[in-house]
Amino acid sequence: MSEGRVMARFAGRLGSFLAAALMAASFVAGAAQAVEPDEILKDPALEARARQLSLELRCLVCQNQSIDDSNAPLARDLRVVVRERLQAGDSDKQVLDFVVARYGEFVLLRPPFNARTLLLWLAPALALIVALWLAYRVFAAARSNRTVAAGPAPSQKLTADEEARLKRILDDN
């Protein structure tokens, strides 16, 4: 292998590595919590519970972030409500029940499996089944079209007219 090829391969791998490292760094940087210093409780045990609960609640503005990760004003309000309820002596379940009663089950990042959320939990499996069925149908149709387009089966013999035409074509060339 020539030296130029070796250097090109090395440069390609180095570029891939650097791109992966940059992507990983951006994910780590995006994971910083949005909790403001004035929100943090003085009691470390209560603050740890508040953080854990905040990770279970969805930001209703961002929708794919927990309220612990979101900078949205509504997420801040929810973080404050969680901390107020904890300071009032509520259990974790009581805090979650309070927030769910106020905003609905949509506020939970991991909603419970029940009759109302059945479609939500089964949708990925149903989508996979439908995709596999569609892929099977497409490939089966393509296979049948390929068989038809291939022409007569090899076991069929040419008619006398076809043989004469073939002989004329071959003789002309």
Token representation of residue 76: 């801040």
DSSP-H helix ranges across the chain: 3-30, 44-56, 73-87, 92-103, 118-149, 160-172
Beta bridge partners of residue 151, listed in sequence order: none
When the pLDDT of each residue in the chain is averaged and rounded to a whole number, the result is: 81
108 pairs with which residues across the strands?
Answer: 57
Residue 97 in this model has a pLDDT that exceeds 80: yes
CA 125 to chain centre: 13
Is pLDDT above 70 for 141? yes
CA angle 70, 74, 78 (to 5 degrees): 85
57 close to 109: Cβ distance less than 8 angstroms? yes
Weakest-pLDDT range from 28-37, 86-95, 97-106: 28-37
Residue whose tokens read 């130029």: 4
Is 45 found in the same domain as 10?
no
Among candidate residues 112, 137, 163, the one where a domain is terminated: 112
Task: Please give the tally of structural domains in the chain.
Answer: 3
Q: Which residues pair with 66 in a beta bridge?
A: 58
pLDDT digits 0-9 by tens, 23-68: 665 554 444 467 777 778 888 898 899 999 999 999 888 878 899 8
- Co-location of 101 and 39 in the same domain: yes
38, 3: one domain: no
pLDDT for 95 equals: 94
For residues 53 and 98, membership in a common domain is answered with yes
Instruction: Please name the amino acid found at residue 143.
Output: R
Confidence of residue 172 (pLDDT cuts 50, 70, 90): confident
Q: Which residue has the higher pLDDT, 4 or 164?
A: 164
Domain of residue 12: give its range. Answer: 1-31
**Where is average pLDDT lowest: 64-78, 107-121, 159-173?**
107-121
Q: What is the mean pLDDT of residues 89-106?
A: 91
Domain shared by 136 and 157, yes or no: yes
Please say whether the beta carbons of 79 and 95 come within 8 A.
no
Q: How confident is the model at residue 119 (pLDDT cuts 50, 70, 90)?
A: confident
